């Protein structure tokens, strides 16, 4: 019968990188991977979810890509951000040339919504900008991106936020629209977590924020939710602002939603209406 395509699935040599800070620069990704054997090029992509950015790194072969993944996965990329990098093989290779027919919409959309940092460039091995295309990247911002792992597919990124934050300038923070109508509180209520989300994963995320005290996970309606307590409202507000719509590696439904809790964690029920 027909022979197997030598460039098929087993030869994916592109890495998908998430967990990046929203102000990451192209050269930082270039410098991260340039010392890895077989590195060819990288690209930052603005996802359209708040200010979130992901990256793709291309290698000469899959063996080199896997070696780089093993060396750099879970790296603490930014000492001021409490998260680590999540690196895995992409579902398909990034291509060096754009395909105009089905993907033309991507490039017109990219020009309009490159994001607050303008990230849509490719860094080649010499640091020169180029154009590298992501197969299937069309329709919605996440659309049906072949390069994204299954957990980052369009089904996990339903469109239920306004586009205002997508088009905002770099000097502005995303609007906090999900406060739940509650007044500021030192405890945050966290929803829209993936089914496989764990307390350990949330602890690693929130414990890096100033004033973090404790967290507690519960199940509501069969889905995990969490309460995260900080020493005061200023600390909880900082975490809410920076993590609103943040996509955890375990996410199967898009970014998590944070709002102020109705009352501080551990406050006796009879006192909750007074605070």
How distant is the alpha carbon of residue 193 from its chain centre? 14
Give pLDDT, residue 50: 56
Local structure of residue 133 (DSSP, 8 states): B
* 140 strand-pairing partners: none
Q: Which fold has domain 10-156?
A: Alpha-Beta Plaits (3.30.70)
Taking only the tens place, the pLDDT of each residue in 24-52 is: 888 888 888 988 999 988 888 876 655 57
Judge whether 10-156 and 187-271 match in fold: yes
Whether residue 150 is predicted with pLDDT greater than 60 in this model: the reply is no
5-20 average pLDDT score: 73
Query: What's the pTM value of the predicted model, to 2 decimals?
Result: 0.38
Q: Cβ–Cβ contacts within 10 Å for residue 168, how many? A: 16
Query: What whole-number distance in Å separates Cα of residue 241 and Cα of residue 244?
Result: 6
Chain-wide mean pLDDT for the chain?
A: 69
Query: What whole-number distance in Å separates Cα of residue 80 and Cα of residue 188?
Result: 21
| Half-sphere exposure at residue 41, Cβ-oriented, CA atoms within 13 angstroms | 17
Q: Which of 57, 58, 62 is nearest to 10 (CA)?
A: 62
Distance (Å) of CA 273 to CA 32, 182, 235, 269: 51, 12, 22, 8
Taking only the tens place, the pLDDT of each residue in 58-74 is: 999 999 999 999 999 98
Domain map (residue ranges) of the chain: 10-156, 187-271
Count, in order, helices (H) and strands (E) of the chain. 5, 10
97-101 average pLDDT score: 37
Give pLDDT, residue 151: 41
User: Considering the domain 187-271 in this protein, what is its CATH number?
Assistant: 3.30.70.330
Where residue 271 falls among pLDDT bands split at 50, 70, 90? low
Q: Which of 22, 30, 26 is nearest to 48 (CA)?
A: 22
Query: What whole-number distance in Å separates Cα of residue 232 and Cα of residue 241?
Result: 15
Whether residue 252 is predicted with pLDDT greater than 60 in this model: the reply is yes
Instruction: Say if residues 142 and 154 touch (Cβ distance below 8 Å).
Output: yes
Give pLDDT, residue 47: 67
Taking only the tens place, the pLDDT of each residue in 188-234 is: 999 999 888 999 999 989 988 999 999 999 988 888 999 999 999 99
Token pair for 78: 């930014």
Query: What percent of the chain shows pLDDT beyond 70?
Result: 60
Q: Cβ–Cβ contacts within 10 Å for residue 245, how many? A: 19
Local structure of residue 138 (DSSP, 8 states): -
Give pLDDT, residue 95: 59
């Amino acid at each position: 019968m027909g022979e197997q395509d030598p460039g098929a699935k087993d030869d994916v040599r592109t890495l998908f990188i998430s967990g990046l800070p929203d102000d990451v620069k192209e050269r930082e990704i270039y410098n991260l991977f340039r010392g890895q054997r077989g590195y060819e090029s990288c690209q930052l992509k603005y996802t359209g979810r708040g200010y979130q950015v992901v990256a793709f790194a291309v290698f000469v072969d899959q063996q080199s890509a896997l070696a780089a993944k093993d060396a750099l996965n879970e790296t603490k990329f930014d000492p001021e951000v409490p998260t680590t990098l999540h690196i895995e093989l992409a579902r398909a290779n990034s291509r060096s040339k754009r395909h105009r027919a089905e993907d033309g919409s991507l490039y017109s959309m990219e020009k309009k919504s490159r994001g607050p940092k303008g990230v849509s460039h490719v860094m080649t091995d010499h640091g020169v900008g180029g154009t590298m295309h992501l197969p299937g990247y069309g329709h919605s911002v996440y659309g049906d991106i072949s390069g994204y792992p299954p957990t980052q597919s369009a089904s996990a990124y339903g469109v239920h936020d306004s586009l205002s934050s997508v088009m905002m300038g770099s000097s502005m923070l995303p609007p906090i629209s999900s406060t739940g109508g509650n007044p500021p509180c030192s405890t945050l209520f966290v929803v829209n977590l993936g089914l496989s989300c764990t307390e350990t994963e949330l602890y690693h995320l929130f414990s890096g924020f100033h004033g973090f005290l404790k967290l507690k996970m519960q199940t509501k309606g069969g889905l995990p939710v969490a309460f995260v307590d900080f020493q005061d409202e200023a600390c909880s507000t900082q975490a809410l602002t920076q993590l609103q719509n943040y996509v955890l590696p375990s996410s199967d439904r898009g970014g998590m939603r944070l709002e102020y809790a109705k009352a501080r964690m551990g406050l006796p029920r009879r006192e909750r209406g007074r605070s």
